[in-house]
Amino acid sequence: MTGPRASPAADTAPGPALVEGRGPLSRTVVDALRSGRPPLHDTADAIAAAVLRADPTGEDLQLALFLLYELHYRGFEGVAADLEWDPDLLRLRRVLEDRFLHALRMDLTSAPRSVEEAFAPLLLEPVDLSGSLSHYLETEGELWQLREYATLRSLYHLKEADPHAWVIPRLTGRAKAAMVAIEYDEFGAGRPERIHARLFADLMADLGLNPAYGRYLDRAPAPLLATVNLMSLLGLHRTLRGALVGHFACVEVTSSPGSRRLAKAMRRCGAGPAAEHFYAEHVEADAVHEQVVRGEVIGGLLAEEPGLEADIAFGCAATLLLEDRLTAHIRAAWDKNRSALREPSSPHDALTSDSGEGRAMRIDESLYPGSPYGAHRE
């Protein structure tokens, strides 16, 4: 039995435009969100069969999962806000999550199961940086590639720290106090102009991109969606609180060196002061956060719940796995001088240069010699 469904005319969220589906699962979600009616796969067996046929890291499943998770953030324009807790959509989300999480666990059967094993390799800068995307951008990247990178990362950075905030009520003592202190920094330490999501919006404006939340969802490929979906998956489940702490710690430990390289890349390519500032801000802040998250958040959590150590290690390993896959996707495209973004299904999702504040920012095509997406520029 399901509860009452929201009317499409009910209170709607002021979120981004809903995109088109990329396969049967995501089309089912899109249709349900637009109509307010139950998903077409209206039995547990039908849902399970459709999900089992899908690639757990493919475009269809990852977009379907992203759309359902986004109901817990800002929702979508014209979509009833009450659908956030619709039982039919939650049932569908659950089987999508199980498929994704099972695939991750199968891929990580030989991953470290202790915090020391998981994090020790991350604490030293590798001698060989040839596989590092930030190193590539620092030394060889062109401005069009920095724009693509920012476009991809906008799906997370425009809501930076939000998924991790879900773990706060699930922590106690040292771990909770330290987590709140880090999140306070992430949210600008009381100053709205310093909220990291706002700083990233400023970066996008410097790069001639539209900083509106969710604007480039239609351009995001599955490997990028998976990195954002992982945070939402871990954040929305209390049973995965240890894995979310592991994810958060992994991000903080690896952020400072990568941010230093990206700040240099922005400076070298003349991206603009706000673009450089976003990453420069993370160099110092995340170096401090790294110490706090390892010593106090992880240390405090393990002091209270030592049985979560394997989950913390899993969260770190899953983060690295998906980031490596995203890097491979981007480099495979760039090495062939192709865009790493998906083709837009509608013109407004192209890499246009209109700002979210109505200010026309025309991109000088001479800045992008050899760019593979010239046809999408205004």
pLDDT score, position 241: 98
Please check the confidence at residue 367 and state whether its pLDDT lies above 80: no
pLDDT at residue 354, as a whole number = 43
Q: Tens digit of pLDDT for each residue in 126-151?
A: 767 778 999 999 999 999 999 999 99
Angstrom distance (rounded) from CA 310 to CA 109? 12
Q: Model confidence over 207-240: pLDDT tens digits?
A: 999 999 999 999 999 999 999 999 999 999 999 9
Taking the model in full, what pTM does it have? 0.89
Mean pLDDT confidence for 92-98: 95
Summarize pLDDT for 168-205 with one digit per residue, the tens.
Answer: 999 999 999 999 999 999 999 999 999 999 999 999 99
* Confidence band for 353, pLDDT divided at 50, 70 and 90: very low
Can you give the pLDDT at residue 25?
A: 94
**What does the pLDDT look like over 46-85, one tens digit per residue?**
777 888 899 999 999 999 999 999 999 999 999 999 999 9
Highest-pLDDT range among 55-59, 255-259, 289-293: 55-59
Please, are residues 323 and 227 in contact by the beta-carbon 8 Å criterion?
A: yes
* pLDDT recorded at residue 264: 95
